[in-house]
Structure 1
Amino acid sequence: MKYLLCFGIMISSLICNGQIREKGNIELTPIIGYSASNQLDSFLFGSSSVSGIQIGAYGNFFFNNRWSIRIGLLYQRMGTNSVDFFIFTDEYSERTTYLTIPLTVNYHFGTNRNWYINYGAGFGILTNAEANYNDGNGYVDINDFANPTQFGINCGIGYKFNIAPEFLVIVENSNFIGLADSTKQKSGKNFHMSFNVGAIFKI
C-alpha cells in the first residue's frame, strides 16, 4: 500500500509539472472553434453576427516558464448582416474569408501555468468575398472591390488541461479587431470572436 501511494504521488507530480515549460520549449497546437463576426459600425446598430467554423494551428516558442511568442495560421470567416434598427437601415450583407497569421506574446500564469493571456497583431489574406444587396440576386462576388489584405489586433485568454506530460488540451477565447476596411465600396472594419478547443503537443 505504501508503494502504491508513493507511485501515485510521483505520477501526480509529473502530470502537474507537465504544463510548465522551460526556455526553448516548442508547442504545436491544432485548433477548431466556433466564431461570430461583425463589422464595428453595423454591430453598434444591432446587426446580427456572421457565424462560422475556425480551423488552424499555432506554434508556441517559450522564452521561460511565463513568457512565449505564438504564431499561427487560421482559416476565418468574417462579415456583417443587414441592419434594421429603428431609423437605421442598411440592406447590405457581406461575407469574407481569410487566411490569418496571428503573432502574439503569451503570458502564462497560475500555479502550474495552466492559464494564459495573449496580445499582438494579426495579418489576414483574403480568399473570398461576396455581398448581398437585397436586390433579389442573392450573394454576388465582390472580390474586385474587397481589400486583398487586412491588419488588426489579436487578443485572448485560455486554459490548458493536462492529459499527459507531453499532451494537453486547451479551451480558449480569441478576438480580432480589424484596423482597415474590408472593402473599397463600404466602410466597415471586421470584429471576429471565437471559442476554440485544441490539443497541445510538445515538440
Structure 2
Amino acid sequence: MPGRATTWYFAFNEFNDAIFTREALSMRLMGRVEELREAGRLAGGRIARSTIDRDAECFVRTYVSKTTKKGLTEDGLESPFAELGLLAPLAGGALQFRRGPKPSLPDEVFALALVDFWQAHFPTRGTLSVETVAHEPGSPGRVFLLDEDSLAERLERIGEVTVGAIEWDEGAGLRQVSARREVSSLASLDFVRSTYAALGEAA
C-alpha cells in the first residue's frame, strides 16, 4: 500500500465491498493500517481512529456532493471528481461503488494511468491482459471502476491515443495490450500534454 493517499488506495484497490457505509470503510481501513504498522510497513506511531474517520469522510466527500434539502450543493462547492460518478449515495446513508463506463474520463488520462501502472508493477513485461488491467491493485480498471467491456472499448482506442506506442491485440483468442517500445521509455504525461495543449490552442 502506498504511503501517500493511503485511504484512496485502500478504498479502490483493497476494499471489495460494492455497497458500504462510511463507518464500515473507516473500520476496515483502521484494521488494515494496524496490520501494516505491526508488519513494519507503515512509519510512525499508532494512528487515532478519529484521524481515520476524517480521512474516510474526506474520501467520500471527494466523490459524492453533499447537498441540502433543496438539492443545492452545500457551500456552493463541488469536487470535480464527483463528475466521474465513482460513488453513489443510497438510502439510509449507504454508498455504492459504480463500476461501468465513465464517459467523463478522457482516453488520454486513462492512457496515463495505464502506463504508470505498467511501469510500476510490470516494467519488464511486454503485454498485459485485459484481466490484469481490469482487476490488479493499482490498475486503471480498479481506480476508475471500469468493467471489462468498458475497459476493452478504451483499449481498442489505445493505439491512437499513444500514437502507436501501445496497441490492442485480439490475436489467437487473446485480449491484451502490447507495448511497441520499452515500457520504461514511455512518458505517460506526454499523452495528456498534447491533448490539453490542443484544447488551449482551440480556445
Report the TM range for the smaller structure's normalisation: under 0.3
Using structure 1 for the length normalisation, give the TM-score: 0.20
Higher helix share: 2
Higher strand share: 1
Q: Which has the higher contact order (CA 8 A, sep 6+)?
A: 1
Using structure 2 for the length normalisation, give the TM-score: 0.20
